[in-house]
Amino acid sequence: MRTGQHQVTFTGTGGETLAGTLDLPPKEPEAYALFAHCFTGGKNNQATRRVSRALTDRGLAVLRFDFTGIGDSGGEFANATFSSNVADIVRAAAYLRDNFTAPSLIIGHSLGGAAVLAAAGQIPEVRAVVTVGAPSDPAHVAHLFEHALTDIEHAGEAEVSLGGKWFRIRREFLEDLREQRLADHIARLDRPLLILHSPDDDIVDITNAAGIYTAARHPKSFISLDGANHLLTSPLHAKRVAQLIAAWADPYLPESFTPEID
Protein backbone atom coordinates (compact mmCIF):
# COMPACT_ATOMS: atom_id res chain seq x y z
CA MET A 1 0.00 0.00 0.00
CA ARG A 2 1.42 3.36 -1.03
CA THR A 3 1.17 6.37 1.23
CA GLY A 4 0.10 9.81 0.07
CA GLN A 5 -2.54 10.17 -2.64
CA HIS A 6 -3.87 7.43 -4.87
CA GLN A 7 -6.09 8.44 -7.83
CA VAL A 8 -8.98 6.07 -8.46
CA THR A 9 -11.98 5.77 -10.76
CA PHE A 10 -15.21 3.81 -10.58
CA THR A 11 -18.46 3.68 -12.51
CA GLY A 12 -21.28 5.93 -11.39
CA THR A 13 -24.98 5.17 -11.34
CA GLY A 14 -25.49 6.66 -14.80
CA GLY A 15 -22.57 4.76 -16.32
CA GLU A 16 -20.20 7.74 -16.19
CA THR A 17 -16.66 7.47 -14.81
CA LEU A 18 -16.34 9.05 -11.39
CA ALA A 19 -12.93 10.24 -10.21
CA GLY A 20 -11.72 9.99 -6.64
CA THR A 21 -8.65 10.54 -4.52
CA LEU A 22 -7.76 8.04 -1.83
CA ASP A 23 -5.70 9.83 0.81
CA LEU A 24 -3.51 7.32 2.63
CA PRO A 25 -1.76 7.65 6.00
CA PRO A 26 2.00 7.10 6.39
CA LYS A 27 1.32 3.57 7.71
CA GLU A 28 -1.16 0.79 7.12
CA PRO A 29 -4.63 2.38 7.43
CA GLU A 30 -6.36 1.66 10.71
CA ALA A 31 -9.77 2.27 9.12
CA TYR A 32 -11.28 3.63 5.91
CA ALA A 33 -13.55 6.64 5.60
CA LEU A 34 -15.64 8.03 2.74
CA PHE A 35 -16.11 11.79 2.32
CA ALA A 36 -18.97 13.33 0.29
CA HIS A 37 -18.27 16.92 -0.75
CA CYS A 38 -20.59 19.91 -0.54
CA PHE A 39 -22.98 20.89 -3.36
CA THR A 40 -20.90 21.67 -6.50
CA GLY A 41 -17.75 21.76 -4.31
CA GLY A 42 -15.76 18.77 -5.56
CA LYS A 43 -13.17 16.49 -4.02
CA ASN A 44 -10.50 19.19 -4.29
CA ASN A 45 -12.49 21.78 -2.38
CA GLN A 46 -10.22 23.27 0.29
CA ALA A 47 -12.28 22.04 3.21
CA THR A 48 -12.57 18.54 1.75
CA ARG A 49 -8.83 18.28 1.17
CA ARG A 50 -7.89 19.72 4.55
CA VAL A 51 -10.25 17.55 6.56
CA SER A 52 -9.16 14.47 4.62
CA ARG A 53 -5.48 15.25 5.13
CA ALA A 54 -5.93 15.79 8.85
CA LEU A 55 -7.79 12.49 9.17
CA THR A 56 -4.94 10.64 7.44
CA ASP A 57 -2.67 12.11 10.12
CA ARG A 58 -4.84 10.15 12.56
CA GLY A 59 -4.30 6.88 10.72
CA LEU A 60 -7.42 6.85 8.53
CA ALA A 61 -7.51 6.31 4.78
CA VAL A 62 -10.07 8.67 3.22
CA LEU A 63 -11.73 8.40 -0.19
CA ARG A 64 -13.11 11.68 -1.56
CA PHE A 65 -14.66 11.72 -5.00
CA ASP A 66 -16.35 14.06 -7.46
CA PHE A 67 -20.04 13.60 -8.09
CA THR A 68 -21.31 13.45 -11.69
CA GLY A 69 -20.30 16.46 -13.77
CA ILE A 70 -18.08 17.91 -11.03
CA GLY A 71 -14.30 18.25 -11.15
CA ASP A 72 -12.63 15.28 -12.82
CA SER A 73 -15.73 13.09 -12.99
CA GLY A 74 -17.53 12.40 -16.25
CA GLY A 75 -21.15 12.95 -17.14
CA GLU A 76 -23.22 16.12 -17.05
CA PHE A 77 -24.05 17.84 -13.79
CA ALA A 78 -27.52 18.53 -15.21
CA ASN A 79 -28.20 14.79 -15.29
CA ALA A 80 -27.41 14.32 -11.59
CA THR A 81 -29.96 14.33 -8.80
CA PHE A 82 -29.82 13.97 -5.04
CA SER A 83 -30.90 10.35 -5.46
CA SER A 84 -28.11 9.64 -7.96
CA ASN A 85 -25.61 11.22 -5.57
CA VAL A 86 -26.81 8.90 -2.81
CA ALA A 87 -26.46 5.93 -5.13
CA ASP A 88 -22.94 7.02 -6.08
CA ILE A 89 -21.91 7.17 -2.41
CA VAL A 90 -23.02 3.54 -2.15
CA ARG A 91 -20.98 2.76 -5.29
CA ALA A 92 -17.93 4.50 -3.83
CA ALA A 93 -18.26 2.34 -0.72
CA ALA A 94 -18.49 -0.74 -2.95
CA TYR A 95 -15.29 0.34 -4.71
CA LEU A 96 -13.49 0.50 -1.35
CA ARG A 97 -14.98 -2.85 -0.34
CA ASP A 98 -13.85 -4.54 -3.56
CA ASN A 99 -10.37 -3.01 -3.74
CA PHE A 100 -9.33 -2.08 -0.19
CA THR A 101 -11.63 -2.21 2.85
CA ALA A 102 -15.23 -1.05 3.15
CA PRO A 103 -15.62 2.28 4.96
CA SER A 104 -16.26 2.21 8.69
CA LEU A 105 -16.94 5.94 8.71
CA ILE A 106 -18.81 8.17 6.25
CA ILE A 107 -18.68 11.95 6.35
CA GLY A 108 -20.70 14.47 4.37
CA HIS A 109 -20.36 18.22 4.03
CA SER A 110 -23.44 20.36 3.36
CA LEU A 111 -25.70 18.58 0.82
CA GLY A 112 -23.15 15.76 0.92
CA GLY A 113 -24.07 15.41 4.58
CA ALA A 114 -27.71 14.92 3.72
CA ALA A 115 -26.64 12.38 1.09
CA VAL A 116 -24.59 10.27 3.53
CA LEU A 117 -27.55 10.20 5.92
CA ALA A 118 -29.63 8.72 3.12
CA ALA A 119 -26.88 6.33 1.96
CA ALA A 120 -25.69 4.95 5.30
CA GLY A 121 -28.40 2.30 5.55
CA GLN A 122 -27.17 0.77 2.28
CA ILE A 123 -23.57 0.36 3.49
CA PRO A 124 -23.62 -2.36 6.15
CA GLU A 125 -19.99 -1.89 7.24
CA VAL A 126 -20.49 1.73 8.29
CA ARG A 127 -20.10 2.08 12.04
CA ALA A 128 -20.43 5.86 12.38
CA VAL A 129 -21.80 8.82 10.40
CA VAL A 130 -20.75 12.48 10.48
CA THR A 131 -22.43 15.52 8.95
CA VAL A 132 -20.86 18.98 8.61
CA GLY A 133 -23.15 21.94 7.95
CA ALA A 134 -25.81 19.64 6.50
CA PRO A 135 -29.42 20.59 5.70
CA SER A 136 -32.17 18.63 7.43
CA ASP A 137 -34.12 18.70 4.16
CA PRO A 138 -32.28 18.37 0.82
CA ALA A 139 -34.81 20.78 -0.77
CA HIS A 140 -33.08 23.51 1.25
CA VAL A 141 -30.42 23.72 -1.46
CA ALA A 142 -32.97 25.26 -3.85
CA HIS A 143 -32.61 28.60 -2.09
CA LEU A 144 -29.15 28.91 -3.65
CA PHE A 145 -30.77 29.48 -7.03
CA GLU A 146 -34.23 30.71 -6.05
CA HIS A 147 -33.91 33.57 -8.54
CA ALA A 148 -34.03 30.96 -11.34
CA LEU A 149 -36.77 28.70 -9.98
CA THR A 150 -39.46 30.15 -12.22
CA ASP A 151 -37.32 29.65 -15.32
CA ILE A 152 -36.48 26.09 -14.29
CA GLU A 153 -40.14 25.23 -13.70
CA HIS A 154 -41.38 26.81 -16.95
CA ALA A 155 -38.51 26.00 -19.34
CA GLY A 156 -37.46 22.73 -17.75
CA GLU A 157 -33.92 23.94 -17.02
CA ALA A 158 -31.81 27.04 -16.49
CA GLU A 159 -28.18 28.06 -16.16
CA VAL A 160 -27.36 29.27 -12.64
CA SER A 161 -24.21 30.67 -11.11
CA LEU A 162 -22.99 28.82 -8.01
CA GLY A 163 -19.70 29.67 -6.39
CA GLY A 164 -18.56 31.61 -9.43
CA LYS A 165 -19.26 28.74 -11.85
CA TRP A 166 -22.23 28.12 -14.13
CA PHE A 167 -24.31 24.97 -13.77
CA ARG A 168 -27.38 23.75 -15.62
CA ILE A 169 -30.20 22.85 -13.22
CA ARG A 170 -33.14 20.83 -14.50
CA ARG A 171 -36.69 20.52 -13.23
CA GLU A 172 -36.02 16.84 -12.45
CA PHE A 173 -33.37 17.89 -9.95
CA LEU A 174 -35.88 20.04 -8.05
CA GLU A 175 -38.57 17.38 -8.19
CA ASP A 176 -36.17 14.80 -6.80
CA LEU A 177 -35.20 17.11 -3.95
CA ARG A 178 -38.84 17.67 -3.04
CA GLU A 179 -39.54 13.94 -2.97
CA GLN A 180 -36.88 13.17 -0.37
CA ARG A 181 -37.93 12.12 3.12
CA LEU A 182 -34.61 12.51 4.87
CA ALA A 183 -36.12 12.42 8.35
CA ASP A 184 -37.19 8.84 7.72
CA HIS A 185 -33.62 7.84 6.81
CA ILE A 186 -32.30 9.62 9.90
CA ALA A 187 -34.78 7.87 12.17
CA ARG A 188 -33.72 4.49 10.76
CA LEU A 189 -30.00 5.28 10.73
CA ASP A 190 -29.16 2.88 13.57
CA ARG A 191 -25.58 4.18 13.72
CA PRO A 192 -23.83 6.67 16.00
CA LEU A 193 -24.23 10.15 14.51
CA LEU A 194 -22.10 13.26 14.94
CA ILE A 195 -23.59 16.57 13.79
CA LEU A 196 -21.13 19.43 13.31
CA HIS A 197 -22.57 22.85 12.50
CA SER A 198 -21.59 26.47 12.95
CA PRO A 199 -23.92 29.06 14.48
CA ASP A 200 -22.28 31.48 12.01
CA ASP A 201 -23.27 29.42 8.94
CA ASP A 202 -25.09 31.84 6.62
CA ILE A 203 -25.82 29.24 3.91
CA VAL A 204 -27.34 26.39 5.91
CA ASP A 205 -28.81 27.80 9.11
CA ILE A 206 -27.94 26.00 12.34
CA THR A 207 -31.62 25.20 12.87
CA ASN A 208 -31.01 22.41 10.36
CA ALA A 209 -28.68 20.76 12.87
CA ALA A 210 -31.53 20.78 15.38
CA GLY A 211 -33.79 19.14 12.81
CA ILE A 212 -31.30 16.34 12.18
CA TYR A 213 -30.63 15.87 15.89
CA THR A 214 -34.33 15.67 16.72
CA ALA A 215 -34.99 13.09 13.99
CA ALA A 216 -32.05 10.89 15.02
CA ARG A 217 -32.01 8.28 17.74
CA HIS A 218 -29.22 7.87 20.27
CA PRO A 219 -26.28 7.61 20.20
CA LYS A 220 -26.08 11.09 18.68
CA SER A 221 -23.88 14.07 19.36
CA PHE A 222 -23.86 17.74 18.35
CA ILE A 223 -20.82 20.03 18.40
CA SER A 224 -20.98 23.72 17.58
CA LEU A 225 -18.25 24.96 15.22
CA ASP A 226 -18.02 28.42 16.71
CA GLY A 227 -16.59 31.00 14.32
CA ALA A 228 -16.49 28.73 11.28
CA ASN A 229 -18.20 29.57 8.01
CA HIS A 230 -20.16 27.09 5.89
CA LEU A 231 -17.26 26.19 3.59
CA LEU A 232 -14.68 25.89 6.42
CA THR A 233 -12.33 28.16 4.50
CA SER A 234 -10.11 28.63 7.53
CA PRO A 235 -7.43 25.90 7.74
CA LEU A 236 -7.76 25.99 11.53
CA HIS A 237 -11.48 25.27 11.39
CA ALA A 238 -10.98 22.44 8.89
CA LYS A 239 -8.30 20.91 11.11
CA ARG A 240 -10.55 21.24 14.15
CA VAL A 241 -13.35 19.43 12.32
CA ALA A 242 -10.98 16.56 11.50
CA GLN A 243 -9.74 16.36 15.09
CA LEU A 244 -13.30 16.32 16.44
CA ILE A 245 -14.30 13.59 13.99
CA ALA A 246 -11.30 11.41 14.82
CA ALA A 247 -11.75 11.74 18.58
CA TRP A 248 -15.52 11.18 18.47
CA ALA A 249 -15.33 8.21 16.10
CA ASP A 250 -12.63 6.38 18.07
CA PRO A 251 -14.99 4.13 20.11
CA TYR A 252 -16.88 3.07 16.99
CA LEU A 253 -13.99 2.23 14.67
CA PRO A 254 -11.81 -0.90 14.66
CA GLU A 255 -10.03 -1.42 17.96
CA SER A 256 -6.64 -0.64 16.43
CA PHE A 257 -7.73 2.94 15.67
CA THR A 258 -6.12 5.25 18.24
CA PRO A 259 -6.20 8.96 17.28
CA GLU A 260 -3.19 10.95 18.38
CA ILE A 261 -3.54 13.86 20.78
CA ASP A 262 -1.68 17.05 19.83
**Band of the pLDDT at 261, cuts 50, 70, 90?**
low
Burial of 156 (0-12, 13-18, 19+ CB in 10 A): exposed
* The pLDDT value given to residue 257: 64
Domain-wise residue ranges, the chain = 4-136+182-252
What is the C-alpha end-to-end distance of the chain, expressed in Å?
Answer: 26
pLDDT tens digits, 82-127: 999 999 999 999 999 999 999 999 999 999 999 999 999 999 999 9
* The pLDDT value given to residue 87: 97
CA distance 32 to 147: 40
Beta strands across the sheet bearing 220-224: 4-11, 17-24, 60-65, 31-36, 105-109, 128-132, 193-197, 220-224
- Count other Cβ atoms within 10 Å, centred on residue 32: 24
* The pLDDT value given to residue 258: 65
Over 90: is that where the pLDDT of 249 sits?
yes
CATH of domain 4-136+182-252: 3.40.50.1820
H/E stretch holding 157: strand 157-162
* The pLDDT value given to residue 163: 66
Over 90: is that where the pLDDT of 56 sits?
yes
**Band of the pLDDT at 200, cuts 50, 70, 90?**
very high
Rounded mean pLDDT of 249-256? 84
pLDDT tens digits, 117-164: 999 999 999 999 999 999 999 988 888 888 888 888 888 989 887 767
Quick check: helix, strand or coil at residue 65?
A: strand
* The pLDDT value given to residue 259: 63
